[in-house]
């Protein structure tokens, strides 16, 4: 009888061990399934982000083409109405002078942002238009930053919202006037009275520069998103 009881205990212990092993395997399988679902969701989000960036990029490139085409058409129309003698490259001042528009790439030392998903740095591009205004601290970018800080100072000083809005609007109007003056100075080489088409072409090319900077930013986002998708796909292959 004692031998039978011992055999039953050993058999029951073996069943328990087998059941625990089965449960452990099932738990591991469920864990792998959950991890796989989470990994698949991450991959889908990364792919959607990449496709969205590419769609925006292609849209901007198409808009850039249209903007440049319109600029060249306006320039040709202005040259036709004013005459080739008044719109000619020989009238341009070829002496060395400060660039009216410049592009600055924010470096690592300037605190460039880092993408959390890839750990890589996001290139940032800062467009500075009308360089002559920079000497007077009235560039477009600086004006936006100063407007934000101006609003914060007004809040801290308990200045009425109406006064803060008036001062901000006044600064914006002053900046707009200076930009208009700079645009007029640029076209003054072609005469005092110029065709409206020439002014329109100037605005088109100015807008095109802004779009090119945005396209450069989108291209950097595409490269980061592509690297993230590639990394997630390689991780999925190692798991399988």
pLDDT of residue 33: 46
pLDDT surpassing 80 at residue 51: yes
* Fold classified for 2-129+191-239: Helix Hairpins (1.10.287)
Give 153-163 pLDDT, tens digit per residue: 444 455 565 66
Integer Cα distance of 18 and 149 in angstroms: 69
Give pLDDT tens digits for 107-152.
Answer: 655 544 555 554 545 557 878 777 545 554 444 444 444 444 444 4
- What residues does each domain of the chain span? 2-129+191-239
Mean pLDDT of 38-57: 80
Q: For the residues 219-237, what does the mean pLDDT come to?
A: 79
pTM of the model as a whole: 0.60
Dmax of the chain from CA atoms? 122
Please give the DSSP secondary-structure letter assigned to residue 114: B
Between CA 112 and CA 103 the distance in angstroms is 16
Average pLDDT over residues 13-41: 57
Axis-axis angle for helices 2-82, 196-239 (nearest 10): 160
Q: What contacts 100, CB < 8 A, 6 or more positions away? A: 129, 130, 131, 132, 182, 186
* Interval 168-178: pLDDT, tens: 666 667 667 77
Instruction: Judge whether 121 and 113 are in contact, CB under 8 Å.
Output: yes
Q: By mean pLDDT, which of 3-12, 135-144, 162-171, 196-205 is the weakest?
A: 135-144
* Residues linked to residue 127 through DSSP beta bridges, in sequence order: 103
Q: For the residues 10-14, what does the mean pLDDT come to?
A: 58
Residue pLDDT, tens place only, 61-112: 999 999 999 999 999 999 998 888 888 877 877 788 777 788 888 765 554 4
What pLDDT does residue 161 have?
A: 59
What is the model's pLDDT at position 221? 84
């Amino acid at each position: 009888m004692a031998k039978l009881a011992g055999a039953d205990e050993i058999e029951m212990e073996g069943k328990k061990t087998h059941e625990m092993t089965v449960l452990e395997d099932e738990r591991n399988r469920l864990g792998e399934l959950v991890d796989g679902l989470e990994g698949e969701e991450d991959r889908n989000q990364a792919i959607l982000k990449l496709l969205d960036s590419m769609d925006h990029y292609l849209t901007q490139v198409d808009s850039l083409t249209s903007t440049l085409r319109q600029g060249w058409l306006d320039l040709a129309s202005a040259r036709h109405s004013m005459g080739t003698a008044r719109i000619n490259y020989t009238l341009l001042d070829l002496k060395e002078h400060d660039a009216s528009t410049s592009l600055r790439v924010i470096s690592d030392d300037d605190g460039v942002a880092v993408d959390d998903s890839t750990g890589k740095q996001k290139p940032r591009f800062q467009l500075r238009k009308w360089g002559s205004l920079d000497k007077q601290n009235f560039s477009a970018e600086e004006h936006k930053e100063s407007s934000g800080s101006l609003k914060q100072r007004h809040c801290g000083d308990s200045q009425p919202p109406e006064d803060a809005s008036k001062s901000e609007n006044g600064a914006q109007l002053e900046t707009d006037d200076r930009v208009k003056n700079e645009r007029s100075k640029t076209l003054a080489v072609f005469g005092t009275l110029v065709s409206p088409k020439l002014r329109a072409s100037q605005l088109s090319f100015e807008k095109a520069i802004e779009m090119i900077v945005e396209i450069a930013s989108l291209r950097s986002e595409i490269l980061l998103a592509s690297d993230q998708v590639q990394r997630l796909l390689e991780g999925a292959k190692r798991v399988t």
